[in-house]
Amino acid sequence: MKNKKNFMSGFSLIELIAVIGLILLFFGLTAPYFGKMNTGVERHGAINTVASMIKQARQLAISKNEIHFIQFFPDPPVSTAAVISDSTKTQIGRSYFLPKKLRFDKNPLEIKFSPRGNIISAVSNIDIDHVGNPGVFDRIELIASTGQVKITKDTN
C-alpha cells in the first residue's frame, strides 16, 4: 500500500498578513525621508535658478553694452526675482518665484552689472533662508570685479 501525503501548496493567511505588515512597517519608517529629499531637491533647484538669472543679467549687460540688473523681492507670500534692463526699465523674460519654504533674507535688493560685466551695486552676496529651519541658509556670493557667481550651500 502506498503512503500518499496530501500536500497543499501556497501561503497561509497568517504568512501573508505578516509579510504585508512588514512591508507597511518599512514604508512607514522611510516615508518621512522621501519628503525631506524632495525639499532638498527643490531648494537646490531654486538656488541654481537664481544663480543662472544673475549670470543672465551679467551676460545681457555685456552683450547689449548697457546696464542690466536683477531685482529681488522678499515680500510674502512668495519671494521673487526678475532681470531688468536699465535703459528701458522693462523686465526681460519671466519672473522667478522661490518655493514657499524659501525666501530672500534682505529687503528688496538689486544687483547691477555694468556693460563690462562688473558689479556696480553694493551687494556682495544673497542669502536664501529656509523657512522653518532657523539659522540655515544658502549663500550666493558675487565677485565684484569679475561678476562671477559662487554658491555656498547649507551655511549655519
Enclosing domain of residue 119? 13-155
pLDDT at position 132, please? Answer: 67
Among the residue ranges 9-23, 24-38, 96-110, the one predicted with the least confidence is: 96-110
Per-residue b/e over 99-136, b at no fewer than 16 CB within 10 Å? eeebbbeeeebbbbbbeebbbeeeeeebebbbeeeeee
Question: Could you give the CA distance from residue 101 to residue 138 in angstroms, rounded to a whole number?
Answer: 13
**Is residue 117 a part of any domain in this protein?**
yes
**Is residue 2 a part of any domain in this protein?**
no
Cell of 90: 522693462
Distance, CA of 7 to chain centre:
59
Residue 116 CA neighbour count, 13 Å, CB half: 6
**Is residue 37 a part of any domain in this protein?**
yes
Q: How many domains does the chain have?
A: 1
pLDDT at position 1, please? Answer: 52
* pLDDT tens digit sequence for 93-149: 778 887 777 777 666 678 888 888 888 876 777 777 777 676 777 788 887 776 677
Does residue 36 surpass a pLDDT of 70?
Answer: no
CATH of the domain at 47: 3.55.40.10
